[in-house]
Amino acid sequence: MARIFITGSSTGLGLLAAQRLLTQGHEVLAHARNEQRAADLHKALPEVPIVIGDLSLIEETRSVAEQVNTLGRPDAVIHNAAVYQVPHRIETGDGLCLTFAVNVLAPYLLTALIKRPDRLVYLTSGMQSGARAKLDDAQWTRRRWDWMQAYSESKLFDTMLAFGVARRWPQVHANSVNPGWVPTRMGGAGAPDDLELGMQTQAWLAAGDDREAAVTGQYFFHQRSSPVPELARRPGDQDALFEYCAELTGQPLA
């Protein structure tokens, strides 16, 4: 039995992955952004411990990590929480772009602070293939806002996080997963991909006991390893992303 922490697990793919892992006999630590989300999540998963914190804020993200560590080291972490169609540039209480803060900085900081698990899964998107990953304006203060490009960049950064962690921590299995365009609240009712297939890869990578799940530094779509943009595999660009996130948070990645 494994203990798996899942961010953004009050709805959508995060909730579905939690439910799947519970039926397989694993222990799940769930996450909700606020007390109301936690109350709703408790109705869906009444026996599951819930940590609470807004991942758009650095101090609340630190609190989430502290809560997880207090409950005990997880065997795996699924970085599922994300924002998607943000119609205009929203600045967080830390003065950061919301899309970057939730989608990139939060998984970086949680990776740095949570007691090191055996497996890390970062949810990305096929939209990463059209990203430019501009660290010189990651906060979108100079460019005209484009929510789709901002989201695509954030998902490429997530794959870079996964591959960079895999390189730095060879004893940890760190991978990124594209769940597809699935009909969740984020994806919309008209999304064409299969919801079940969208959920199963991250649950498999987090707790699967077969040899195929015991890999690292890979990008998966429906349990198949797939190619990624060349930028994602460049050690120098991965390190630049780590250094940038460390500057923003004051927390380096070991």
Q: 191: how many CB neighbours lie within 10 A of its CB?
A: 15
Burial environment of residue 45 by CB neighbours within 10 A (0 to 12, 13 to 18, 19 or more): middle
122 counts as catalytic: no
Task: Give the per-residue pLDDT at 191.
Answer: 47
Q: Which of 84, 108, 151, 219 is catalytic?
A: 151
Q: What is the DSSP letter of 223?
A: T
Interval 10-29: pLDDT, tens: 988 999 999 999 999 999 99
- Give the DSSP H/E element, type plus range, for residue 245: helix 235-249
In the block, tokens 């996130």 appear at: 245
Cβ atoms of 42 and 50 within 8 Å: the answer is yes
Task: Give the per-residue pLDDT at 83.
Answer: 96
Interval 180-232: pLDDT, tens: 654 445 544 554 456 667 788 999 999 999 999 999 999 999 888 989 988 89
Q: Which CATH class is domain 3-249?
A: alpha beta
Cβ atoms of 202 and 17 within 8 Å: the answer is yes
Q: What is the DSSP letter of 50?
A: E
Task: Give the per-residue pLDDT at 103.
Answer: 98
What tens-digit pLDDT sequence spans the chain (254 residues)?
899 999 999 988 999 999 999 999 999 999 999 999 999 999 999 999 999 999 999 999 999 999 999 999 999 999 999 999 999 999 999 999 999 999 999 999 999 999 999 999 999 998 888 787 789 999 999 999 999 999 999 999 999 999 999 999 999 999 999 986 544 455 445 544 566 677 889 999 999 999 999 999 999 998 889 899 888 999 999 999 999 999 999 999 98
Task: Give the per-residue pLDDT at 180.
Answer: 64
**Which residues on neighbouring strands pair with residue 52, listed in sequence order?**
32
DSSP 164-193: HHHHH-TTSEEEEEE--S-SSTTT-TT--S
Task: Give the per-residue pLDDT at 187.
Answer: 46
Give me the residue spans of the domains in the chain. 3-249
Q: Which of 84, 122, 155, 219 is catalytic?
A: 155
Please state the pTM of the whole predicted model. Answer: 0.94
Cβ atoms of 128 and 156 within 8 Å: the answer is yes
Residue 108 CA to residue 105 CA, distance in Å, equals 5
115 counts as catalytic: no
Distances (CA, A) of 94 to 23, 86, 98, 102, 133: 39, 18, 10, 12, 21
Helix residue spans in 1-121 (DSSP H)? 12-23, 35-44, 58-71, 98-100, 106-113
Distances (CA, A) of 37 to 22, 131, 198, 245: 20, 31, 22, 27
Question: Strands 76-79 and 224-225: what pairing?
Answer: unpaired
Residue 51 CA to residue 74 CA, distance in Å, equals 13
Q: In terms of Cα–Cα distance, which of 129, 133, 127 is closest to 148? A: 127
